[in-house]
Amino acid sequence: MEQIWAPWRMVYIGGDHGGDKCVFCEKVQSAEDEKNLILLRGDKTFVILNLYPYNNGHLLVIPKRHVGDIEELAVEEMTELFQMTRKMVRVLRSYNPQGFNVGINMGRAAGAGIPGHFHIHVVPRWVGDTNFMPVFGDVRVISESLEGTYKKLKEALAALEAQE
C-alpha cells in the first residue's frame, strides 16, 4: 500500500479546538499577515487562506468583528464581505479554475468548523478535482503548499490592485 504524508495535519489533530479564544480574532489582531496567511485587510473585513483547504486557493472572507450569525452583521460589514468575496474570486481566477464554490456554514450542524465567527468560504474548482481519496482514505490531496499559494495570490492581488 502506498502512503501519503501530510505532517502539517498534526497541528489540527493535536490542537485545542475549544476554549475561549477565537482563532480568527487572534489572527486579525496580529500584525504578522504572512505568518497568519492574511491576504487582504479591509475596514470591516479580512481575507485569509484556509489552513485546511478543500482545494488550492481555498480562502475565507471574515468580518473583523466577532459575530457568529448573518443576522448580527451590520449593513457595512455585509457590503464589504461581498465586495471582498467578489474581489477574491477575481484574484483566484489566476489559478484558471473552471468554477467556484462560495458558501456559508452557520452552526456546527451545518458544517461550520468555527461556528462562533461568521465567514464566507471561496473555493476554486476544476472538473475532476475530486477523486477516491476523500471517500476511501478520508484524505484530501492538496498539490501546493499554503506558503506557495499565499505568494501566488499576493502577486495576483497586487496585479489586480494595480489595474484598479
Distance CA 64, CA 29 (A): 9
Buried b (16+ CB within 10 A) or exposed e, 116-140: ebbbbbbbbbeeeeeeeeeeeeeeb
Q: Are 23 and 52 in contact (CB under 8 A)?
A: no
Alpha helices in 4-145 (DSSP H): 9-13, 23-29, 33-36, 75-92
Residue 12: HSE in the Cβ half-sphere, 13 Å Cα cutoff: 10
Catalytic option among 17, 58, 117, 119: 119
119 catalytic? Reply is: yes
Catalytic residue numbers, as ranges: 119
